[in-house]
Amino acid sequence: MFREGIMFKPDERVLDALLDYKFLLNRGYRRQQALRIIEERYRLTRVEKVFLYRSVFSDEDIRNRLAKKVLLNSIRNSKILVDGFNVLTVIRSAIRGETLIICEDTFVRDLSSAFQKIKLDDNYYRALEIFLSDLKDLSLTENNTILIVYDAPVSRSGILAGYTRELMKNHGIQGTALTVQKADKTVIEESGVIVSGDSYIISRALKICDIGGIIALRHASAKENIISIRRLIRERLKEFDAKTLSEGVKKIIKAPGNRDK
C-alpha cells in the first residue's frame, strides 16, 4: 500500500476534524483517545488519522517541545546526534515530491513513512548526500562532531553506515556513523544535540534540532505539497467564532462513550 508515496490535501471535513482534535487535546484528552473520538465523528481514513496525529498538539505540549528546540546558529562545539533513518526518510519524501507537513510544534514530518517499511533505494543514498552537503553549507561541521545512528534491524543498514562514513571523510566531516539495535534509545542516552523529528525522541530529549526538516524544505521538489498546520488553523478559524467551535465539540464529547477522559 502507498508504494508510490503519499500526496495529501486536507478537505473541509478534515480541517473541521483538525480543529476539534486540537480542542480536545487542550481540554486534557489523551492523544489516542481524542483521535478515536474524532475518527468516529468524522469517519477518518488511515491517512487522515496519521495526518492529525503527527501534526496537531496541545498548546502545553507545543511549549514543552519548543523549549527544547535549538536554533541552528547556536549549535557550536557540540556533539550532533542524528537519528539517521528519521532524517533521511523526510528528505527522501521531499525530493520525491511527497507531502511534507510543517507541524504545530514546527517540526517537519512526512506521511509516507507511517505506511512504508524502510527499504533502501537510490533516493535514500541521494538524501544522505544532500544531508551531508547541507551540513557543510549550514556551517554545522566546522566545530561539531557528527554521530549518525542507524537501526541495525533495517536490511543493509550496515552498508549504508559504511557509505556514510566514507562520505563524511570525503566531506571532511568529523564524526562517524554506526548501526545499533534501537537508534532512538542511543541518541536519547548520548549527550549532545539530537537531530530528529520523531515525537518519542522529542518528548525525551534535552536539546533537539530539526535539521532534517530544514533541509527537506530546502530540497522539496513540489513546494505545493508542503502543508503548514498553523496556517491551516488560522485560516479555518477565520471562518468560525469561538462559540460555534465550542458548541460543536461539546456535542462530540457528549456522544455515548466519549464522556470520560
Residue 195 grid coordinates: 537531530
Give dist(CA 160, CA 259) in Å, integer.
49
What pLDDT does residue 1 have?
A: 47
Q: What is the pTM of this model?
A: 0.90
State the cell numbers at 116.
512504508
Domain assignment present for 6: no
Shared domain for 161 and 236, answered yes or no, is no
> What is residue 244's predicted lDDT score, i.e. its pLDDT?
61
CA angle 7, 45, 101 (to 5 degrees): 40
CB 87 within 8 A of CB 201: no
User: What per-residue confidence (pLDDT) applies to 249?
Assistant: 56
- State the total domains in the chain: 2
Residue 180 within any structural domain of the chain:
yes
Q: Are residues 199 and 100 part of one domain? A: yes
pLDDT for 18 beyond 80: yes
SS3 state at 115: coil
Using one digit for the tens of pLDDT, what is the confidence trace for 37-54? 999 999 999 999 999 999
Nearby residues of 198 by Cβ (< 8 Å), 6 or more positions away? 83, 86, 184
E strands, the chain, are 79-83, 100-102, 108-110, 145-151, 175-180, 193-195, 208-209, 226-228
Q: Same domain for 165 and 76?
A: yes
Q: Is residue 96 part of a domain?
A: yes
Range of the domain at 41: 11-56+226-261
